[in-house]
Structure 1
């Protein structure tokens, strides 16, 4: 029998996960979603014959896995709303950025099986990259259940040190925005050099998508792919040399460090 999975918060990420689970054959009667917004509940209901409600207590009653797909700013209120209704065997998976296991367990009334999870927006297309950390209270079966759930929408990487979840957030959670920013800058450079705006955006966007597909293939690492495109003394080499001269690696390192620090600030705020 498939496990009963409940989503508290039924926005885009929850909808992507529900869609992935249904596509993988998870029974719709074993899926539940709770959200205060009627329009969101309607959209979730259109995904399949799953149980949708505005009552968190109703949604978590008897659930095997509870996914907290909510913003960090409301996590404490959500934890308080479900603590008394959770089954002792239920595993709670939180996607709230920066919120540590200790705070999650405190909000649930004590040590419980809790997993911190950081998916990213490409999960909406089934191309996600998710990092997770499972608290020691989790059994192997509970960890596997959460891995399988997020594996329905992409790749999953597990870390054994909770502090690394802030790094996961900075690399893959926030990472899509970095690539979008590069695509924007590349299109702008093309426009400034004379290309029509539509042509510049199409070339930049499709180049980013194609490069991402080559990386996602997994057979060749990024460095080797870069080398294959770079002929000595050619145009690509000239551009990459300029990146290096302008300090691109250091810029990226500082950006990731800023994201890590902000994640830790969010996690420490009560």
Structure 2
């Protein structure tokens, strides 16, 4: 049975782990290494997933003996990635795929910390993994074999959608758009709630209407991923929606703000590299 080792089982790591066990349980042994995640993972061992096996350990010394996982997924803080690779030197062998989901840690840095010719992959998932609806962007070094890349894709497709990038430089923009992006939509929802309250709606009604609208819009985009078409569909000439959009889109302000947000987040990602 092949092993998958997850290092760092916090909110994101734990969400990915649950998705993996649910979608890929048969034939894989999942090992989670995290000194603090024990209580939050207690329910996983009790989930009725036929054929799956799961082990949680708090310290490296407690890892199963002679563990050589097919994939090591590093879901630690960025500043802990290289040390984690060094500490796991005995586990990482030539056919291991080392996957980092830490923002700003380059494949060159990861390769420098590894003492073998292990394949190196970077992936940027987003918070949608908590509900099985992540969109993850990945970049694999050319040395990564097709079957290794396919296994990484299987892992991240189990918690949503997986998209491969041809250039590592584009990971900064992927981080800015999809990694940070959910926060932009949450902030817009907050602004809509505040606007409705200011105009006189009770707080609980403003929240219900704004949040329900964001949720339904997302579901519509899932069914038809064409935001321009959907915007045109809901906008009648000279109607209320057209009036609202006229105010929202006047002077290109929304496009400018969106561009500024993506550019600032991408710049910060580059600074962290």
Structures share fold, TM-score greater than 0.5: yes
Following superposition, the deviation at residue 98 of structure 1 comes to: 1.1
Counterpart pick for 2:191 among 174, 177, 185: 185
Following superposition, the deviation at residue 29 of structure 1 comes to: 6.2
Following superposition, the deviation at residue 220 of structure 1 comes to: 4.2
Equivalence map 1:169-184=2 (5 Å): 169-184=175-190
Q: Is the 8 A contact 1:93 1:115 kept in 2?
A: yes
**Pair 1:56 & 2:53 matched:** no
Deviations 1:188-208 (CA, angstroms, capped at 9, x unpaired): 000000000010011001100
Counterpart of 2:238 in structure 1 is 233
Equivalence map 1:16-165=2 (5 Å): 16-27=15-26, 30-37=29-36, 40-48=37-45, 50-56=54-60, 58=63, 61-109=67-115, 111-165=117-171
Q: Is the 8 A contact 1:10 1:35 kept in 2?
A: yes
Whole-Å separation in 1 of the counterparts to 2:35 and 2:3: 21
Following superposition, the deviation at residue 73 of structure 1 comes to: 2.3
Counterpart of 2:247 in structure 1 is 242
Mark the CA change 1:226 to 1:31 in structure 2 (over 3 Å): closer, same or farther. same
Whole-Å separation in 1 of the counterparts to 2:115 and 2:172: 24
Structure 2: unaligned runs, 5 residues or longer: 46-52
Whole-Å separation in 2 of the counterparts to 1:265 and 1:79: 22
Count of residues paired in the alignment:
263
Q: Secondary structure at the match of 2:99?
A: strand
Whole-Å separation in 2 of the counterparts to 1:195 and 1:204: 11
Mark the CA change 1:102 to 1:25 in structure 2 (over 3 Å): closer, same or farther. closer
CA RMSD of aligned residues (A): 1.7
Q: Is the 8 A contact 1:101 1:116 kept in 2?
A: yes
Deviations 1:64-112 (CA, angstroms, capped at 9, x unpaired): 1110011112222212211343121100110000111000111113653
**Pair 1:214 & 2:220 matched:** yes
Q: Is the 8 A contact 1:133 1:161 kept in 2?
A: yes
Deviations 1:164-219 (CA, angstroms, capped at 9, x unpaired): 011110010000000000000000000000000010011001100110111112x3
Q: Is the 8 A contact 2:92 2:116 kept in 1?
A: no
Q: Secondary structure at the match of 1:88?
A: coil
Structure 1: unaligned runs, 5 residues or longer: none
Whole-Å separation in 1 of the counterparts to 2:121 and 2:24: 24
Counterpart of 1:201 in structure 2 is 207
Whole-Å separation in 2 of the counterparts to 1:175 and 1:187: 19
Whole-Å separation in 1 of the counterparts to 2:71 and 2:225: 36
Counterpart pick for 1:223 among 221, 228, 237: 228
